[in-house]
A and B are shown apart, each in its own frame.
Chain A
Amino acid sequence: MATRQRRAKGVSPKAARLGKRAQNKERTKKEILRAALELFSKKGFFPTTTKQISTRARIAEGTLFNYFKTKEDLALYFFEQELAGLTEWYRSQTKLQRSSLAEKLFAIIHRHLERISPYEEFIGAVYLRALQPVSKLNLLSLETQELNVRYLRFIQEVLREAEEEGEIPRVGDFGAYAFGLFHLAIISYWLQDGSPGKENTLALLDRSLKVANSVLRKGTWEW
């Protein structure tokens, strides 16, 4: 233990250089994403060119390709960032942690929708693209698997809290998968929801979670 601590403190100059480089790299990636999102929400996902993105991010177009081979890679990076942000937010919500499972799950999806709402057009485009079997954004593509697993683990963590407190019976991995599909379904509903403030989505989300909760608690499908 003591040795490890000493090593951590006494970082070699090479490692420090590498660490700094990684940090810089991450900063550039974020800068590119920021520039891209601005363009996506202004011009749309499909019409935006990589040249426009690199100009806006003030980097050479070649450098852009070093970071993201395609716009799809950029989209994937966006979702990674979103998931990280969402997870971090959830863990910081101490009051929410004491709420019912239905409220926690409601809050997670609602927070997600709030976060992505400035990029609605972009998300819609990504949804369409993801339907293509050859797309990297497809739910079954290898590229999305890492992200999927990270998401499932996060939801599993939330469900496990409720399982351990006896709020719901054990639902295992199935619960996380089912919720993931529900989450996607809600996003597609939200994308086409034309009601004021998208309040239909809120009602659907609340009602569905209440029904699911009641089914889970009673351990029967007859509610």
Chain B
Amino acid sequence: MVKERPKGQIGRGFRIGKLGLALTGSYLGYQFQNLFLNEQERPERRKSFNRKAAGQIRAELESLKGPVMKLGQILSTQFHFMPEETLTELAKLQMRAPAMHATLAQAQFKASFGKFPEEVFRSFTEEPFAAASLGQVHRAVTKHGQEVAVKIQYPAIRKAIEDDFKLLRSATLPVRVTGHATESMIAEIEGGMLQETDYVNEGQNIDFFREQLKPLNYVRVPVVHWDLSTDRILTMSFVAGEPLLDFIASQKPSQEMRNRIGVQLVEMFSLQIHRLRALHADPHPGNYLIETNGTIGLVDFGCVKKFSAGFIEIMRAFEERVWLRGEEQCRRMAGLIWGGGVLKKPRLALELLKGAINFYEMLFPGLKGGGRVVDFGDAKILNAMFQILNDNVRNKMVNPEFAFYARAEMGLYNLLHLLRAKIDTSSILEKFGGSDE
């Protein structure tokens, strides 16, 4: 009897994934197996995945966390080709990061800083108070009596990410052949994740944003204690406030307060895009700490995107609504967004561009004289954005620079949706857009 083998590229991808799983002990392989199962197998597989694995797989994933979680987080906001059940599981992951036990956290602190936390701080709380996806955060008091948050990275996470991406590159071969996940997109995500493992870089981001966000007096950015930080340990002043979801649940803010926080979030986003040309691109609701007066504490600056001149030009093209100036401008815009190749398929280019423009006008109805207030409580904005991403990925039209931008933008709309905020977006755009020229 001939042993049945998985067929074709999909089967190969499946086996490579499995092999990689066995070799590296990474659970990423398991996640990606789901992508390569054919349609008939998938529902069966999903059911058993959900039934057996709901608790178990998550617990085990959590024990490995790091890259898997982080990638899951990105994939769950970015790539629409994941089965929904997997997305759901991954979404839970990003919310519930596991803890390094006290001994490991202290050992890792020593490994990176050269001393144990108890030698360095007046007091150090062994229990972490927040999970960062590549590590966890502990409260401490410095020898000078300042309250700080100490972020400790899970050991050897950088190597784990590199290993997982090696696996990802072999496992997603079928996906890449069909063009759904391009090498440049994978490289963009890997680069972003590796950057997040460097806490010195994150500390510099914090310094940059604290300075640059000063015009917005409702934003609170921590202060880095450089003398108590390394590339794997980041000590910063403690930022008060409740994570956005907790704030909504516990304070039951009025519509006015919801709108105010929403406006602030959009202003923050606009200032970053239009003035700083850089974006705090981690849209996790836990990264926004709200105080009862509505001010926003911003934490976790590991994922910061600095935009290229080309990207800025795209933004300006949208603002100036260049599509109104005729076909030539539309072609130029499509070329900017999707690269020169898109012009070989003019009809597709036009269709995608139309989708993007419609979405833009949905976000800023005031620009073309419509009602000015957008109700983000209505899910249609999130759905429209999903649709656009989906169309782009399906048509193999993805600008890698958008990977991080879209992740952040989607995150913002998600926050506004959770807030059920009603916002005059056009006024904010008028206030921040293009005004520095």
Give the B-binding residues of A (Cβ under 8 A): 96, 99-100, 102-103, 106-107, 110, 114, 195-200, 202-204, 206-207, 210-211, 214, 223
Whether A202 contacts B103 by the Cβ 8 Å rule is no
* Contact A199:B160 (CB < 8 A) given known A103-B101, A206-B104, A206-B155: no
- Residues of B within 8 Å of A214, CB to CB, are 60, 63
Q: How far is the CB of A198 from chain B (nearest CB, A)?
A: 6
Asked if residues B63 and A199 are in contact (CB atoms below 8 Å), the reply is no
Q: Is B100 an interface residue (CB 8 A)?
A: yes
Closest-by-CB residue of A relative to B104 is A206
**Sample of 19 further A-B pairs with CB below 8 A, known A102-B101, A202-B111, A203-B155:** A106-B101, A106-B107, A110-B103, A114-B110, A195-B159, A197-B110, A197-B111, A197-B112, A199-B155, A199-B156, A202-B104, A202-B108, A202-B156, A203-B156, A203-B160, A206-B104, A207-B25, A207-B63, A223-B60
Contacting pair B63 A99 (CB below 8 A): no
Could you give 7 example pairs across A and B, Cβ below 8 Å?
A: A106-B103, A197-B112, A200-B155, A200-B159, A202-B111, A204-B156, A206-B104
Q: Could you tell me if B107 and A202 are in contact, using CB atoms closer than 8 angstroms?
A: yes
0 or 1 for each of B93-114: is its CB under 8 Å from A? (1 = yes): 0000000111110011011101
Q: Is the CB of B111 within 8 A of A206?
A: no
Which has the most chain A C-beta neighbours within 10 Å: B108, B155, B160?
B155
Chain A nearest CB from B201 CB (Å) reads 16
CB-CB under 8 A from A96, the residues of chain B are 103
B301 in the interface, Cβ–Cβ < 8 Å? no
Which secondary structure characterizes the binding site on chain A?
helix
Interface magnitude class on chain B: 20 to 34
Chain B positions within 8 Å of A110 at CB level: 103, 107
Contact present for A203 and B154 (CB under 8 Å): yes
Type the 1/0 row for B282-315, where 1 means its CB is closer than 8 Å to any CB of A.
Answer: 0000000000000000000000000000000000
B397 at the interface (CB under 8 A from A): no
Assembled-state Cα–Cα distance A198/B107 (Å):
10
**Cβ of A103: which chain B residues have Cβ within 8 Å of it?**
101-104
Instruction: Tell me the minimal C-beta distance from A115 to chain B in angstroms.
Output: 13
**CB 8 Å contact bits of B15-34 with A (1 = contact, 0 = none):** 00000000001000000000
CA distance A99 to B107 in the complex (A): 16
Interface residue? B167 (CB, 8 A)? no
A202 touches B63 (CB 8 A): no
Contact with A along B55-78 (1 / 0, CB 8 A): 000001001100000000000000
B111–A106 contact, CB under 8 A? no
Query: With contacts A110-B107, A195-B159, A199-B156 known, is A206 near B100, CB below 8 A?
Result: yes
Most chain A CB within a 10 A radius of its CB, from B103, B110, B232: B103
Complex interface: chain B residues within 8 A of A197 (CB): 108, 110-112, 114
Given contacts A206-B155, A207-B25, A214-B60, contact A199 B103 (CB under 8 A): no
B156: chain A residues at CB < 8 Å are 195, 199-200, 202-204
The answer to whether A196 and B112 have CB atoms under 8 Å apart is: yes
Report chain A residues within 8 Å CB of B107.
106, 110, 202
In the bound complex, CA of A107 to CA of B112 (Å): 17
Query: In the docked arrangement, what's the CA distance between A214 and B64, Å?
Result: 13
The 8 Å CB contact of A196, one of B60, B63, B111, B157, is B111
| Chain B residue contacts of A199, Cβ below 8 A | 108, 111-112, 155-156, 232
Are the C-beta atoms of B104 and A106 separated by less than 8 Å?
yes
CA separation between A102 and B101, bound complex, in Å?
Answer: 9
Task: List chain B residues, Cβ under 8 A from A207.
Answer: 25, 63-64
A56 to B10, CA, bound (A): 69
Please measure, in the bound complex, the distance between the C-alpha atom of A199 and the C-alpha atom of B104, giving whole angstroms: 10
A210 in contact with B111 given A199-B156, A202-B155 (CB within 8 Å) = no
Cα–Cα distance between A80 and B310 once the two chains are bound (Å): 67
| Residue of B25, B107, B108, B111 ringed by the most chain A CB atoms within 10 A | B107
Within 8 A of A (CB), among B106-144: 107-108, 110-112, 114
Interface pair A99/B110, CB less than 8 Å apart: no
Task: Quote the shortest CB–CB distance from B18 to chain A (angstroms).
Answer: 15
Give min CB distance, B364 to chain A, whole Å. Answer: 47
Closest residue of A by beta carbon distance from B157: A203
On chain A, the residues within 8 Å of B111 by CB distance are 196-199, 202
Q: What is the chain A residue whose CB lies nearest that of B113?
A: A197
By a CB distance below 8 angstroms, the chain A residues around B101 are: 99-100, 102-103, 106
Assembly CA distance A49 to B107 (angstroms): 36
Could you say which residues of chain A place their CB within 8 Å of the CB of B64? 207
**A residues within 8 A CB of B100?**
206
**Nearest CB of chain A from residue B111's CB, rounded to whole Å:** 3
Which residues of chain A are within 8 angstroms of B25 by Cβ–Cβ distance?
207, 211
What's the Cα separation between A203 and B104 when bound, in Å?
9
Task: Tell me how far the C-beta of A196 lies from the nearest C-beta in chain B, rounded to whole angstroms.
Answer: 7
Give bound CA distance, A35 to B156, whole Å.
36
Chain A residues, Cβ within 8 Å of B114: 197
Q: Kindly list the 10 A-B residue pairs having the minimum CB-CB distance in the complex, ordered from nearest.
A: A197-B111, A203-B156, A199-B155, A202-B155, A203-B155, A103-B101, A107-B103, A200-B156, A199-B111, A210-B63
Contact flags (1/0) for B306-348 with A, using CB distance below 8 Å? 0000000000000000000000000000000000000000000
Cα A100 to Cα B104 with chains together (Å): 12
How far does the Cβ of A205 sit from chain B's closest Cβ, in whole Å?
8
- With both beta carbons as reference points, the residue of chain B lying nearest to A113 in the complex is identified as B107
Docked CA distance A110–B105 (Å): 12
Nearest-Cβ distance from residue A145 to partner chain B, whole angstroms: 31
- Once the chains are docked, how many angstroms separate the CA of A106 from the CA of B105? 11
Interface mask (B156-191 → A, CB under 8 Å = 1, otherwise 0): 110110000000000000000000000000000000
CB proximity of B205 to chain A, nearest CB, Å: 21
Chain B residues closer than 8 Å to A198, beta-carbon distance: 111
A210 contacts across to B, CB distance below 8 A: 63
- B116: nearest chain-A partner, CB-CB: A114
Closest chain-A Cβ to B138's Cβ sits at a distance in Å of 16
Q: Which residues of B contact A99 (CB under 8 A)?
A: 101-103
- Interchain CA distance A47-B302 in the complex, whole Å: 49
